[in-house]
Amino acid sequence: MLTRKQIDLLKLIHDRMEREGVAPSFDEMKDALDLRSKSGIHRLITALEERGFIRRLPHRARAIEVLKLPDALNRTEARVIEGGARDAPASPPAAMPVDAAALSLPVMGRIAAGTPIEAISEAVTDIAVPGSMLSGRASHYALEVQGDSMIDLGINDGDIVVIREQDTADNGDIVVALVEGHEATLKRFRRQNGMIALEAANPAYETRLLRDDQVAVQGRLVGLIRSY
């Protein structure tokens, strides 16, 4: 599955190749996707190449071959995400079995628990979630965990996390945070010396310190569904 930015970049490259026979420059890609630096474009290009959508031709400037296009280019867009988390609370989120009173939630894609990815833009499937995980009339969505940066919280690769949509957080909350408008991550939220710390739950990953204007809270973790 591709993220929104990956899809946008692939479409940009494909359209330019169809029209002019040459891929856009990295500066043109950066401006078209409204990114602050070309490093973000390098990550997107690498991700597309690793997933088999493009191939970079060696020793040739701006030489990119589009190998295939995803079905997502023909779908309606939807939403945001990525991942990681902080040191374990007294007890990890409880993994609950799905019961007869389950409700259906959209799974908005995967959380890359460890390696940052661009914000995910579309629902990929639905999942039945215990009604007891959902609070009041708030909107909720689900995400699939991928990676190991949340293991000290008892959140493992392949688990599904349930997220309540909200734009505020208290210290210690595990949140979906949108970083600089395009990179989303699931981590523990903490205010620290006038900055926002996004903390992982695996000592192999460093805490990220960001300015308040670089972080937008998208939701808070409220439940976990274990994958066996």
149 noted as active-site residue: yes
Residue 111 near residue 143, CB atoms below 8 Å? yes
Q: Which residues pair with 126 in a beta bridge?
A: 106
3-state class of 10 per DSSP?
helix
3-state class of 26 per DSSP?
helix
Length of the chain: 228
3-state class of 177 per DSSP?
strand
Nearest Cα neighbor of 200 from 220, 185, 215, 217 is 185
- Kindly give the residue spans of alpha helices, DSSP state H, lying in 97-224: none
135 noted as active-site residue: no
Residues designated as active site: 149, 187
